[in-house]
Structure 1
Amino acid sequence: MTAWLLICAAHSVERARGEWDDTGIALLRCGALFSAVRISAGLVHAAAASEDREQIAGFLGRALHGGPVFVHRDGSRYYALVPPGATDLHAWHGRRHANDVEFLGLGSYLGVPRPRSDDEDDEARGAHWVVPMDEPGALCQADAVAQLVERGRFRLAGEDTGRGD
């Protein structure tokens, strides 16, 4: 898995390995082997109907069929890794929640935690995997990510009107 991700090293394989060793996060290029969808924590929490870390991890694992997801240390953003050919789906945009979702494809760079970094040391240093990558190329289905986003937006809209669901 590590070797597969290192193909996307922003600068060099050696530098990326050093970044993982020093900070737990390596800068990788999006668009070659994977792209990513950055999703706000508020949207993920709304979709999961929970702010509990274990419940969110279970929800994301089910909703994204085991596809890899990591979260930033401060918990503000989740990143779902999707195939590089995933299109910038309409569902990933919206006027009311324009800052809640961003597609990161060709030309984007992303700080990615070392594979299997779900321990407390890596979590304290940076991002950590909520749903670890099982094998090279095993990514989230773009449509499943879009459905998660729509579910979160639906629930947030219900909160805005006081109706919920």
Structure 2
Amino acid sequence: MTTMSSAVRNATAAWLAASLNRPEDAYTQWADRRLAVLALGRRFCAFRLADELVHAAGNATGFPTPTTILRTLAGPVIHDPRGSRYYALLPPAPPGPDLGPHATYLGLGHYIGVPRVGDDQQTETWSSYWAIPMSAPANLCDPNRVLGLIRAGTAALDEEADA
């Protein structure tokens, strides 16, 4: 669990829940399943990043673990170990350029499973968790840093494929 104050944790959960027309649905889902399906596009959007892209970007740039490179994004990242992917949360924006097969922009009209605020440890259940916790309401990843990670990982994967 993160060490953020209960006031910040509650404010962050409220901010995330407000992505839904009925925010109370998020609280019910977090209580029942520890994961709420939240709408993208109004408060935040996401880049879905394949595990291998994050690992390749880390190796190419000298970061020894996924966590260390994900911290450079300066915002929250969810890990879905069952699906072998990460979700970097960032401010809403129009879709970007095609970024290849390892990264997908998710905006308006998409939904993602968001763990309870404070669930930042992987468990045996393969449930999604905060790889990089959200530190405060609206504190999101820097889009330019996310694109840099995607480019570095894609270049490294392309180089591996050509070798």
TMscore range, shorter length: 0.7 to 0.9
Corresponding position of 1:137: 138
RMSD (Å), alpha carbons: 1.9
- Calculate the TM-score normalised by the size of structure 2: 0.83
Corresponding position of 2:14: 3
Counterpart contact for 1:24–1:125, Cα < 8 Å: no
Deviations 1:103-158 (A, max 9, x none): 1111111111111211355x736210111111111101111111100000111111
- Aligned equivalents of 2:125 and 2:43: distance in 1? 27
Corresponding position of 1:106: 108
- Aligned equivalents of 1:157 and 1:142: distance in 2? 22
Provide the secondary structure at the position in 2 that maps to 1:156: helix
- Aligned equivalents of 2:149 and 2:122: distance in 1? 27
- Aligned equivalents of 2:94 and 2:57: distance in 1? 22
How far 1:37 moved relative to its partner? 0.6
- Aligned equivalents of 1:22 and 1:42: distance in 2? 31
Deviations 1:59-80 (A, max 9, x none): 1102x1x210011132511000
| Total equivalences in the alignment | 149
Distance 1:75 1:59, change over 3 A: farther
- Calculate the TM-score normalised by the size of structure 1: 0.82
Residue 87 in structure 1 maps to residue 88 in structure 2: no
Gap runs ≥5 in structure 2: 1-11
Gap runs ≥5 in structure 1: none
Provide the secondary structure at the position in 2 that maps to 1:137: coil
- Aligned equivalents of 2:83 and 2:104: distance in 1? 16
How far 1:12 moved relative to its partner? 2.6
Corresponding position of 2:39: 29
Counterpart contact for 1:35–1:82, Cα < 8 Å: yes
What one-letter code is carried by the residue in structure 2 that aligns with 1:117?
D
What one-letter code is carried by the residue in structure 1 that aligns with 2:95?
D
